[in-house]
Amino acid sequence: MINPSIEKNPLQIPEIRARVSRLVSLEDAISCVRVSKAWSKDFTSAIWYTVDFNIHRTFKDLDGNIITKHGRHIRTIENIKTQPELNAVLRSTIKNQDVALFSGPSIDAFKHKGVVTLLAPIKQVFQPDPESGLSSLGFSLLVHFPNLIEWHCYNLSAALFVPVERIKTEVTRCCPRVTMIDTWKSPPHIIHSLVANAFYGLKNVTFEYIQLSMDVIVALLFHRETLLRVCASLDSQCSYTERDELPLEGDHFQQSGRAVQLLPRCCPYLKFLEFEGHEMDMDIVEEEEWACRGLQQLRVRIRGLNTKEKVDRTLKLWKEGRQRKGEEDTTFIESHMNEAKDTSIEARVARHLLALEKLEAVWLGTRTFHA
Amino acid sequence: MSAHSQILLTSSEGTEFIIDRDIADKSMLLKCMLEDIGEIGQAVPLPNVSGPILTKVIEYCTHHRDDPNFLSANDDVAADIDEWDLEYCKVDQGTLYELILAANYLDIKPLMDLTCKTVANMIKAKSPEEIRKTFNITNDFTPDEEDQDWVDEH
């Protein structure tokens, strides 16, 4: 004999209806919502649970009221491909729920065509949402900036956040016009990795002088045919390089100073060479001619030019030499200088500077001198 | 054969059933109860389950006794029901209803899934009116409420 208390239709129990609703097909769910009011409630969520743009092509055209009424049931949205579809999905009722968005592989990402400068570390670019895992499809913020030219792309930890090949692929694919990078405080091997392997045809590279190493110089030389500016900046907190006195400063790269000369010797188009943390040795400088005949600005300290007076004298000699050049025949100037046989450090530096005919501004430790 | 401890169950009519402990553990309700109380000499009363239904439920649990996937949630809607399970569900609607209720009460998820899937198959391709007839449901919509064109998104 059946106990009367269980003579009940289990489908009258909402939990059981809800369980069945997860097992029916979409078509059947649509039939079910028409059965009765109670059924309507439980089967509605089954209809709206997953929106797949591959199947529900007219979803984005649905009336706003309808989405407002039922959007709260949406939990999964798949195969978003275009901006209008994304907009349809970003309505407030849907946004407030815990909805998972899955975009198809060909998402037509919104492109900001006007952005030319980006300041964002590698980590942020490749994992824009820190909560989510690293996308295996390989999308990065770079996809939004096709006209990017300048990227302040630092990576402060010891290992690159993503493999350098990945960075290279993204840069090549999304923003091939990047020609200026600034690695800020990134360590030497990171600089090397990025400069040597992630970018092509760089024109402008900035990094922190304290991070300079042989690897960095080698990496820079890969871009010798395109480099216009190399800037080894001092600690960003130091804005004291324009000063009246010449303080005694060390140079961590002194032992390998010779290597720094490779830059002006091998980069023929270099216009700006900024190495304020470095102290050049004129003996080494004079070993070989600098190829960058178009150099416009030089910022470096010179070994031996260790007082303000010496620096001032050097700049004066340079200035005078330029004026004479403007007025008279060049051959006369050269012989004049050779006659003097002035082997003082000031004269040697001035001779070197005069050879660079396009030079407009020089900093030798105190203040920038403009010709 | 290892010695399983045994459990005594009593149906709503008072019929007694002796089953092995591991079969009883398929029901989360019984499992938790037995873990909390430990071995009890007395029978566990099940006032909500009749003898015939309890027999059916035990039959299901015994058949799936060694099934490794039994306790892991199978939410794969598209997975086909295996043959034995299909035959098992070939019962009249009243029995099917009682099985659902028993599986719900005893908290045996795989049996819930199976019986609900069976219901889902009964709904398949039916119109609302046909569904109402099958499950004996009253239409409580007013005529203009029935007109829900938002459903045409499909």
Residues of A in contact with B135 (CB under 8 A): 9, 11
pLDDT of residue A51: 73
Find out whether A189 and A215 touch, Cβ atoms under 8 Å: yes
Q: CB distance B153–A59 less than 8 Å?
A: yes
Burial of B57 (0-12, 13-18, 19+ CB in 10 A): buried
Strand partners, B134: none
Query: What whole-number distance in Å separates Cα of residue A226 and Cα of residue A228?
Result: 6
Put simply, whether B153 touches A (Cβ < 8 Å) is: yes
pLDDT of residue B38: 65
Which residue, A66, A81, A75, is CA-closest to A95?
A75
Which tokens in the block code for residue A170?
């993204």
Lowest-pLDDT choice from A11-20, A121-130, B15-24, B131-140: A121-130
CATH top-level class for B6-142?
alpha beta
Instruction: Evaluate if residue A320 carries a pLDDT over 60.
Output: yes
For each successive 10 residues of chain B (154 residues), what is the average pLDDT?
73 91 90 75 84 94 84 56 88 92 92 92 90 88 62 48
Put simply, whether A28 touches B (Cβ < 8 Å) is: yes
Identify the three-state secondary structure at position A32: helix
pLDDT of residue B76: 54
Rg of chain A over all Cα atoms, to the nearest angstrom:
33
Tell me the pLDDT tens digit for each residue of A253-305: 877 889 999 999 999 999 999 998 899 999 999 999 999 999 999 999 999 99
pLDDT of residue B141: 83
Q: Whole-angstrom distance between the N-terminal and C-terminal Cα of chain B?
A: 56
Query: What whole-number distance in Å separates Cα of residue A264 and Cα of residue A253?
Result: 17
Count helices and strands (H / E) in chain A: 16, 12
Tell me the pLDDT tens digit for each residue of A57-68: 677 677 667 776
Among A11, A30, A70, whose Cβ lies nearest the Cβ of B135? Answer: A11
Lowest-pLDDT choice from A328-332, A342-346, B133-137: A328-332
Find out whether A278 and A300 touch, Cβ atoms under 8 Å: yes
Instruction: Evaluate if residue A29 carries a pLDDT over 60.
Output: yes
CA distance A23 to chain B (A): 6
Burial of A197 (0-12, 13-18, 19+ CB in 10 A): middle
Put simply, whether B101 touches A (Cβ < 8 Å) is: yes
Residues of A in contact with B126 (CB under 8 A): 28, 31
Q: CB distance A36–B136 less than 8 Å?
A: no
- The neighbour count for residue B82, using CB atoms within 10 Å, is 10
CA distance A43 to chain B (A): 12
Chain B, nearest residue to A24 by Cα: B120
pLDDT of residue B74: 52
Put simply, whether B141 touches A (Cβ < 8 Å) is: yes
Query: What whole-number distance in Å separates Cα of residue A28 and Cα of residue A22?
Result: 11
Put simply, whether A61 touches B (Cβ < 8 Å) is: no
- Residue extents of the structural domains in chain B: 6-142
Higher pLDDT, B3 or A9: A9
Higher pLDDT, A215 or A131: A215
pLDDT of residue A81: 65
Q: Whole-angstrom distance between the N-terminal and C-terminal Cα of chain A?
A: 111
- The neighbour count for residue A225, using CB atoms within 10 Å, is 11
For B112-134, b/e burial (b = at least 16 CB within 10 A) is bbbbbbbbbeebeebebeebbee
pLDDT of residue B154: 44
Chain A, nearest residue to B97 by Cα: A10
Instruction: Evaluate if residue A163 carries a pLDDT over 80.
Output: yes
Which tokens in the block code for residue A365?
């430790």
Largest CA distance in chain B: 66
Which tokens in the block code for residue B64?
């799936």
Which tokens in the block code for residue B30?
């019984």
Strand partners, A153: none
Mean pLDDT of A205-225: 94
pLDDT of residue A108: 57
Look over chain A and give the mean of its residue pLDDT values, rounded to a whole number: 82
Q: Indicate which of A28, A34, A51, A70 best probes the interface with B, i.e. most B CBs within 10 Å of its own CB.
A: A34
Q: CB distance B137–A36 less than 8 Å?
A: yes
Q: CB distance A28–B135 less than 8 Å?
A: no
Q: CB distance B123–A5 less than 8 Å?
A: no
Which residue, B123, B126, B111, is CA-closest to B81?
B111
The proportion of chain A whose per-residue pLDDT surpasses 90, expressed as a percent, equals 37
Interface A-B: count of C-beta contacts within 8 A? 100
| DSSP string of A101-148, one letter each residue | EEE-TT------TT--EEE--HHHHH-SSTTSPPPTT---GGGG-TT-
ipTM exceeding 0.85?
no
Identify the three-state secondary structure at position A173: helix
- Listed as own residue / partner, the contacts of A210-214 with beta carbons closer than 8 Å and 24 or more positions apart are A210/A235, A210/A252, A210/A277, A211/A183, A211/A185, A211/A186, A211/A187, A212/A188, A212/A252, A212/A253, A212/A260, A212/A277, A212/A278, A213/A188, A213/A189, A214/A256, A214/A259
Give residue A276's region: left, alpha or beta (phi > 0; psi -120 to 50): alpha
- Tell me the pLDDT band of A334, cut-offs 50, 70 and 90: low
Residues of A in contact with B150 (CB under 8 A): 62-63, 66, 69-70
Tell me the pLDDT tens digit for each residue of A170-200: 899 889 999 999 998 899 999 999 999 999 9
Mean pLDDT of A153-160: 89
- Tell me the pLDDT band of A5, cut-offs 50, 70 and 90: very low
Strand partners, B20: B6
pLDDT of residue A364: 92
Instruction: Evaluate if residue A135 carries a pLDDT over 70.
Output: no
- Tell me the pLDDT band of A103, cut-offs 50, 70 and 90: low
Instruction: Evaluate if residue A362 carries a pLDDT over 90.
Output: yes
Instruction: Evaluate if residue A340 carries a pLDDT over 60.
Output: no
Among B116, B139, B150, whose Cβ lies nearest the Cβ of A19? Answer: B116
